[in-house]
Amino acid sequence: MEFYQVLKTRRSIRKFRKSEVTSELVEKLIAAAMLAPSAGNQQSWQFIVIRDREKLDAVPAIHPYCTMIKQVPVAILVCGDPAGKKWPDFWVQDCSAATQNLLLAARAEGLGTVWTGIYPLVDRMKGCRNLFSIPDHIIPFALIPVGWAEDEGFKETSRFKPELIHEDVFVGK
Amino acid sequence: MEFYQVLKTRRSIRKFRKSEVTSELVEKLIAAAMLAPSAGNQQSWQFIVIRDREKLDAVPAIHPYCTMIKQVPVAILVCGDPAGKKWPDFWVQDCSAATQNLLLAARAEGLGTVWTGIYPLVDRMKGCRNLFSIPDHIIPFALIPVGWAEDEGFKETSRFKPELIHEDVFVGK
């Protein structure tokens, strides 16, 4: 798919069809995530692919905005892994860039996703730690349900706001 | 350009030719950034387009890893704007996703970029505040030199590490 078509039609999908997503596709999305830039190329990320139905269905109890996970066959939990890295304070940026790559790749494949935030909300992080056996040094960051959108329209969005652009110095609000 | 070609050939560019970058192209990159997802669609970002030669050349004194800015005609400073937003703790993720979109769009246009980190390093943030007259409630986040790469090869990179992928639960390091 053409780059700008992917970029302009990516949107949060919250209604999914009951269809499988192959392991090959999931790996392709994670490979896309791993192509993201990171501070000093430190790649401070890890990924948990969740297919266990009981675990997927248990998520809404720990994440109030992730009820749509009950409709999908698979979700990807992006985790931060800053321990021992050269730029540990940049792991959130590393993981965010990786997550955005993952969402865009999903769109390119015709898959729907939604970025549901975990970090830095303590309750959601704790819930994920318990459910997915995450050790202390790994930080649950964002949970991405992945599936086939019920409505495949993927309408174009525009969010361009010229008032948020400044020249040389910051002027205004 | 095809989506995966953009994704796989985006890389940090640190050597640039002395050629102009039009305002139309810069706006296209920022429009791409603004298409990023954000927590509750809060769009907690602002952008400063820097073309002032003196300001560009003054950056290396406040950012040791941004010497290549002396070679480019323009740089984009992505800033966080969390004040009054619904999910202020997610502004870093919002800005990171926007920055990644910007880098990818630049690659699609044949432009070279490099993500040089500002936040959360106090000295760099302070330096940017002074140089670009940034008020207290706006947070300098990342500075992106933009130009035409000296070497237009844009070789494909691969960073796939299967050992960073887990199934259902986190196992290993």
Give dist(CA A1, CA A20) in Å, integer.
21
Contact B7 A101 (CB under 8 A): yes
Mean pLDDT of A17-33: 97
As a whole-number percent, the residues of chain A with pLDDT over 90 amount to 92
Contact A167 B49 (CB under 8 A): yes
Residue B157 pLDDT = 80
Residue B160 pLDDT = 95
Residue B145 lies in a domain: yes
- Picking from A135, A69, A124, A27, the residue whose alpha carbon sits closest to that of residue B90 is A124
Give dist(CA A121, CA A126) in Å, integer.
9
Instruction: State the ipTM, two decimals.
Output: 0.97
pLDDT band at A29, cuts 50/70/90? Answer: very high
Q: Domain range holding B152?
A: 3-164
Q: Kindly state the tokens that stand for A141.
A: 């960051």
CA B160 to chain A, closest CA, distance in angstroms equals: 6
Q: Is the pLDDT of residue B47 over 70?
A: yes
Owner of token pair 């044949």: B110
Instruction: Compute the mean pLDDT over every residue in chain A, rounded to the nearest whole number.
Output: 96
pLDDT digits (tens, 9 = 90+) for B129-142: 999 999 999 999 99
Mean pLDDT of A64-85: 98
Q: What is the pTM of this model?
A: 0.97
- Structural domain count, chain B: 1
Contact A48 B167 (CB under 8 A): yes
Which residue of A24, A100, A121 is the best one to mutate when testing the B interface, meaning the one whose CB has the most B CBs within 10 A? A100
> Which residues in A lie closer than 8 A to residue B54 (C-beta atoms)?
none
- Measured between CA atoms, the residue of chain A closest to residue B114 is A37
Residue A172 lies in a domain: no
Residue B18 lies in a domain: yes
pLDDT digits (tens, 9 = 90+) for A100-143: 999 999 999 999 999 999 999 999 999 999 999 999 999 999 99
pLDDT band at B153, cuts 50/70/90? Answer: low
CA A87 to chain B, closest CA, distance in angstroms equals: 10
pLDDT digits (tens, 9 = 90+) for B53-103: 999 999 999 999 999 999 999 999 999 999 999 999 999 999 999 999 999
pLDDT digits (tens, 9 = 90+) for B20-41: 999 999 999 999 999 999 999 9
pLDDT band at B127, cuts 50/70/90? Answer: very high
> Which residues in A lie closer than 8 A to residue B160 (C-beta atoms)?
31, 34
Mean pLDDT of A92-106: 98
Contact A48 B12 (CB under 8 A): no
- With 0-12 / 13-18 / 19 or more C-beta atoms within 10 angstroms meaning exposed / middle / buried, residue B90 is buried
CA B97 to chain A, closest CA, distance in angstroms equals: 5
Residue A6 pLDDT = 97
**In one letter, which amino acid is B137?**
H
Which of B90, B138, B165 lies at the smallest CB-CB distance from A30?
A: B165
Residue A157 pLDDT = 80
Contact B47 A164 (CB under 8 A): yes
Chains A, B: CB contacts within 8 A come to 187
> Which residues in A lie closer than 8 A to residue B2 (C-beta atoms)?
1-3
Write the DSSP string, A63-129: -TT-GGGGG-SEEEEEEE--TT-S-GGGHHHHHHHHHHHHHHHHHHTT-EE--EE-TT-HHHHHHHH
Residue B101 pLDDT = 98
Contact B93 A96 (CB under 8 A): yes
pLDDT band at B115, cuts 50/70/90? Answer: very high
Could you tell me the CATH number of the domain that includes residue A147? 3.40.109.10
Residue B119 lies in a domain: yes
Q: Is the pLDDT of residue B110 over 90?
A: yes
Residue A169 lies in a domain: no
Residue B73 lies in a domain: yes
- Strand bridging mode A139-147 / A112-113: antiparallel
- Measured between CA atoms, the residue of chain A closest to residue B93 is A96
Q: Which of A28-37, A155-164, B19-28, B101-110 is least confident?
A: A155-164
